[in-house]
Amino acid sequence: MRPNLATQELRELFKARKLTYVFHANAIETSLSFISQNALISREAASKNNLPQANQYTDEIDQKHGIYGDLFFNILDHHTIFKAPNVYGPVTFTIPFEQILILLEQTPGAAINITRKNPEKWIDSEADKDKWYSNVQEFESAVFVYEREDACAYQTKFPIPDIVISGLKDGLSLDLVTRIKIEANPELGKLYTDFRYVAEKIGRREQVRKIYARDNCKLECKCRNIEAILKKKYLLPKYKFGEWKDRLGQSLYEDWVIKHSA
């Protein structure tokens, strides 16, 4: 049985390490479903409600381990720390961690856990203690290195933990999200403008206002080099509008993706 971590201890740790936000990155198609529902929802919830979402090869793994109905977050923005396109998708939702903790404390049955490594690397024979951090102190000693007293020095080497939230029946409201950032390599053309266009058709105005293009990356960031995306073919489907293109009957920008997916 996975341990439920203490929200107050997590609150104190994140404050001490000067961590304010957590992040959820996803594909274009799945992110638009979030906007249509005004909430971050699990892949299980999206499937049950027949909502568009990009294919994900870990679905069977998540179902087997009982986490298919959970929400996943990262401690830091992976696009920023790795200076490369996010492997989970080009759309990143930014959420104040304190707001999540308050929600958990107000929701009976809700829980927060942190994985020791990505669940896709879990082994069936592993005990729960080998999959999850047992307590906040164990998580802190494993993930943070104390190189500077006044800052969070984060281990960017693998394995990287996931924050896993369970027990939120209606997902996590986008009202708690402060920004929705989209990777905006110039060669992706209309990706950002078309994403905003669809969001305006299916979402609430106050959420559309949170959408920004991630166009301030420095030159050394691999997202500025189109070859960095082309070399990783698994990234390309995450840039597609997928079923939203059919539902809206619009000519959305997918030519670039289709051309290089062949």
In the sheet that holds 163-166, the strands lie side by side as: 71-73, 163-166, 111-114
Instruction: Please state the rounded mean pLDDT for residues 14-24.
Output: 92
From CA 235, how far away is CA 224, in angstroms rounded? 15
Take residue 134 and report the two structure tokens written for it. Answer: 């047992």
Sign of the torsion angle spanned by Cα atoms 136, 137, 139, 140 = positive
Helix, coil or strand: residue 212: strand
pLDDT tens digits, 86-145: 889 999 999 999 999 999 999 999 999 999 988 998 998 899 999 999 999 999 888 876
Helix, coil or strand: residue 168: coil
pTM confidence score: 0.91
pLDDT tens digits, 163-218: 999 999 999 999 999 999 998 776 666 788 889 989 999 999 999 999 998 877 76
Q: What is the pLDDT of residue 262?
A: 53
pLDDT band per the 50, 70, 90 thresholds, residue 259: low
Rounded to the nearest 5 percent, the helix, strand and coil shares of the chain are 45, 15, 40
Take residue 127 and report the two structure tokens written for it. Answer: 């005990």
Instruction: Please state the rounded mean pLDDT for residues 224-230.
Output: 72
Could you tell me the residue ranges of all domains in the chain? Answer: 7-257
Q: What is the pLDDT of residue 234?
A: 76
Residue 159, preceding peptide bond in cis (omega within 30° of 0) = yes
Helix, coil or strand: residue 66: coil
Q: What is the pLDDT of residue 151?
A: 39
